[in-house]
Amino acid sequence: MANKRDLRDDPEVVKKMALLLSQGASMLEQTCPVCGLPLFKTKKGEVICAVHGRVYLVASEEEAKEVEIDEALKGVEYYVSTKLREKMLKDETDEVEDLLRIIDLIERIRALREDRSKIDKQGRSSA
Ligand SMILES: [Zn+2]
């Protein structure tokens, strides 16, 4: 398991950061809510972490938690999908239905959460 300090010294991460800079991105004062590395703003205005790709800057602790939940959901989805593939490759059909149901649930939760954050943003901009 790599910790935050290792990531900063990881040649791959350093290479990605250098690439972002060479593409005209600027380093921000803010750090990635997931790994704590400095974030970059691309010419297009996207905020990017060298490890996690596009991230969303969070203004509050509550938002930071929301991001964490999103990451966790993604993690679970990844785990279940991998598990499902394994099962299918081995021709084990016993748990496939359960796994599919979990994926379906996660997708629904994510869709709901996306809708909600859209509404949040609209509410804030019109206020
Ligand atoms: Zn990150």
Select the more confidently predicted residue: 118 or 5.
Answer: 118
Q: How far is the CA of 53 from the centre of ligand 1 (A)?
A: 7
**For all residues of the chain together, what is the average pLDDT?**
84
pLDDT of residue 66: 80
Residue 127: which pLDDT band, with cuts at 50, 70 and 90?
very low
pLDDT tens profile 26-73:
999 888 888 889 999 998 888 899 998 888 765 667 777 888 888 899
Is there a single domain that holds both residue 122 and residue 66?
A: yes
Q: How far is the CA of 67 from the centre of ligand 1 (A)?
A: 12
* DSSP H or E stretch at residue 38: strand 38-41
Mean pLDDT of 4-28: 87
Is there a single domain that holds both residue 27 and residue 47?
A: yes
Give exposure, 34-53, as e/b (b: 16+ Cβ within 10 Å).
Answer: ebebebbbeeeeebbbbbee
* Residue 26: strand, helix, or coil: strand
Domain residues for the domain of 75 are 61-126
pLDDT of residue 41: 92
Look at the chain and report how many structural domains it folds into: 2
Q: How far is the CA of 35 from the centre of ligand 1 (A)?
A: 4
What does pTM read for this prediction?
0.46
- Picking from 15, 30, 54, the residue at the C-terminal end of a domain is 54
- Picking from 14, 37, 54, the residue at the C-terminal end of a domain is 54
* Residue 54: strand, helix, or coil: strand
Q: How far is the CA of 61 from the centre of ligand 1 (A)?
A: 17
